[in-house]
Amino acid sequence: MSAPLHTLGVADLARGLAAKAFSSVELTQALQARMAQHAGLGAFLATNQEGALAEASAADAAIAAGSAGPLTGIPLAHKDIFVTDFARSGLATTAGSQMLKGYASPFDATVVARLVAAGTVTLGKLNCDEFAMGSANENSAYGPARNPWDPTRVPGGSSGGSATAVAARLVPAATGTDTGGSIRQPASFTGITGIKPTYGVCSRYGMVAFASSLDQAGPMARSAEDCALLLSAMSGFDERDATSAERPPQDFHAQMLRPREGASASKPLQGLRIGLPKEFFPAALTADVNGAVRSALAELEKLGATLVDVSLPRTELSIPVYYLIAPAEASSNLSRFDGVKFGHRAEQHGDLLDMYKKTRAEGFGPEVKRRIMIGAYVLSHGYYDAYYLQAQKLRRMIADDFQACFQRCDVIAGPVAPTVAWALGQKRNPLQDYLADIFTLPGSLAGLPGMSVPAGFANSEEGGGLPVGLQLIGNYFQEGQLLHTAHALQQATDWHLKEPTL
Ligand code: GLN
């Protein structure tokens, strides 16, 4: 195999490892060298060189012994929202916050444990917005991550480090989490592929909690095929997560490959009805995003799909609904960070109440404080009915709107975000960021699976040649159909193969 190892995705690496074209140790060393060379991108918050090499040589031994699985010896990295057993991995868990600086978890998140059990090699922990609150990775207490296509731009967020690392070819794949778009939007901004599965498909056990009724884990990689391989290993019922879906283990790779009834080699998507919600194509959508999304839709049509007009009339309302429900849940989840059991504790303090106050004032950044205040307010006596209860009712109506669409189509498509990646360091009003979540929030509130698939590049001057993602949303537990659709597109196009020059 002559291609440099960092250019290969998960499926190709697995083939090379199985054929003994290279070892996992060689692969791990090559990627570690590249990570060091491009440390300026800010993708990683923690690495463990020796630990990763030990895992790689164990993987090589398993391959030699013939006991390897499909992911044995594949290096990857985890968003720093997943806790990693410090004694096992030597990797701290910070959630991008000062509050958890240097925190040594006594256990692994289920998603991490499953990927470790599958034989993957952990290269480190990836930068993210503090407690996954943000859209640009600029809310990280440890500095921003940079977009490899243009380091003066953001990579998106909150899984910004994951997106940067995959797009820059520092890792073939990474884990991410998505509460309101945090896998899909950074995937779109960096030209990679990411899937947020149906709520309940991946265990939330050991994911630092933001908004528990929305949080979901998923893979971020170069292709739908690589995402399918990762998701099969990450997902599955977990009795330690009360909202985990009780379903048998899924082989998403086999589902991705399964031909549609009536399909042919040239028309693999024959009979697939793709719904275009008119609210996802407003006049204000940038020409860059609209152009790329339309060209991807034209490709899907060539592959046999038909486009149908549908409507999600409460799309705009998903912004206030999400930005009430998510902060409400966050204010409750983050109450555990009080300086008593773990995490930061203020050094100078008076009585217990003063210790709580100073600890939280020092440990949380401004966006996290804003959300705790909003959340505490909307849950408070007298305001609960006016805000939180109303938002819950609307959430149900938004989910019902999707079911009406799925009467008329199999998959919903549209943009992931209204623009391409914006410039780093701009003083953006928080509201600007909230509004930019408009196309990812509806699916999140409904708990539906969603993907971002590379759909080309912006060609306006302002767009700066940056990547654009196509969003695909499926009905509950239709990950296989989303991956099949994205895979068909990627077999026919090469947007996902384009690499940034660093
Ligand atoms: N941008 C959204 C927010 O700030 C989504 C974040 C996420 O999905 N974790 O809440």
* Closest approach atom of ligand 1 to CA 133: 4
Q: How is the chain split among helix, strand and coil, in percent rounded to 5?
A: 40, 15, 45
Mutation test residue for ligand 1: of 82, 130, 140, 158, the one with most atoms within 8 Å of CB: 158
Q: Would you say residue 331 lies in a domain?
A: no
Instruction: Look up tokens 């379903």; give the residue.
Output: 247
Q: Would you say residue 101 lies in a domain?
A: yes
Q: What is the CATH number of the domain that holds 47?
A: 3.90.1300.10
Q: How far is the CA of 322 from the centre of ligand 1 (A)?
A: 9
The confidence score (pLDDT) of residue 27 equals 98
Smallest CA separation from ligand 1 atom 10, residue:
133
Amino acid sitting at position 58: A
Strand, coil or helix: 459: coil
Separation of alpha carbons 92 and 336, rounded Å: 19
Cβ < 6 A, ligand 1 pocket = 132-135, 158, 178-182, 210, 326, 437
Q: Which CA distances in Å does 308 have to 212, 259, 406?
A: 34, 22, 11
Residue 216's pLDDT band (cuts 50, 70, 90): very high
Query: Which is more confident, 461 or 394?
Result: 394
Question: Six-digit token pair at 288?
Answer: 């860059």
Mind listing the pLDDT tens digit for each residue in 125-159? Answer: 999 999 999 999 999 999 999 999 999 999 999 99
Q: How far is the CA of 432 from the centre of ligand 1 (A)?
A: 13
Mind listing the pLDDT tens digit for each residue in 336-395? Answer: 999 999 999 999 999 999 999 999 999 999 999 999 999 999 999 999 999 999 999 999
pLDDT above 60 (res 1): no
* Closest approach atom of ligand 1 to CA 132: 9
Q: Would you say residue 405 lies in a domain?
A: no
Mind listing the pLDDT tens digit for each residue in 52-92? Answer: 999 999 999 999 999 999 999 999 999 999 999 999 999 99
Q: How far is the CA of 179 from the centre of ligand 1 (A)?
A: 6
The confidence score (pLDDT) of residue 469 equals 98
The confidence score (pLDDT) of residue 284 equals 87
Q: In what order do the strands lie in the sheet with 173-178?
A: 44-47, 121-126, 75-79, 173-178, 216-221, 193-196, 450-457, 467-474, 411-415, 273-277, 306-310
Q: How far is the CA of 303 from the centre of ligand 1 (A)?
A: 33
Mind listing the pLDDT tens digit for each residue in 282-331? Answer: 998 999 999 999 999 999 999 999 999 999 999 999 999 999 999 999 99
Q: Which CA distances in Å does 222 have to 23, 151, 260, 434, 452?
A: 21, 19, 24, 27, 11
Report the Cα 61 to chain-centroid distance in Å: 32
The confidence score (pLDDT) of residue 132 equals 98
Smallest CA separation from ligand 1 atom 4, residue:
134
Q: How far is the CA of 273 from the centre of ligand 1 (A)?
A: 29
The CB-side HSE value for 114 (13 A sphere, CA atoms) comes to: 24
- pTM here is 0.98
The confidence score (pLDDT) of residue 497 equals 97
Average pLDDT on 199-204 reads 98
Q: How far is the CA of 144 from the centre of ligand 1 (A)?
A: 16
Q: Would you say residue 298 lies in a domain?
A: no
Separation of alpha carbons 205 and 217, rounded Å: 10
Mind listing the pLDDT tens digit for each residue in 14-51? Answer: 999 999 999 999 999 999 999 999 999 999 999 999 99
Residue 427's pLDDT band (cuts 50, 70, 90): confident
Q: Which domain holds residue 90?
A: 5-251
* Set 24, 182, 244, 452: catalytic member: 182
Q: Would you say residue 312 lies in a domain?
A: no
CB atoms within 10 A of CB 239: 10
* Set 24, 135, 140, 158: catalytic member: 158
DSSP state string for 356-407: HHHHHHHHS-HHHHHHHHHHHHHTSTTTIIIIIIHHHHHHHHHHHHHHHHTT
Angle between helices 479-492 and 287-302 (to 10 degrees): 90
Mutation test residue for ligand 1: of 126, 129, 133, the one with most atoms within 8 Å of CB: 133
For the question of residue 182 being annotated catalytic, the response is yes
Question: Structurally, how many domains does the chain consist of?
Answer: 1
The confidence score (pLDDT) of residue 361 equals 98
Q: Would you say residue 350 lies in a domain?
A: no
Amino acid sitting at position 17: L
Q: How far is the CA of 134 from the centre of ligand 1 (A)?
A: 5
Q: Would you say residue 92 lies in a domain?
A: yes
Which run of H or E residues covers position 50?
helix 49-64
Average pLDDT, the chain: 97
* Exposure class string for 337-371: b at 16+ Cβ within 10 A, else e: bbbeeebbbbeeeeeeeebbebbbeebbbebbeeb
Mutation test residue for ligand 1: of 179, 202, 435, the one with most atoms within 8 Å of CB: 179
Give the rounded percent of residues in the chain with a pLDDT score beyond 70: 100
Mind listing the pLDDT tens digit for each residue in 44-61? Answer: 999 999 999 999 999 999
Residue 428's pLDDT band (cuts 50, 70, 90): confident
Q: Would you say residue 168 lies in a domain?
A: yes
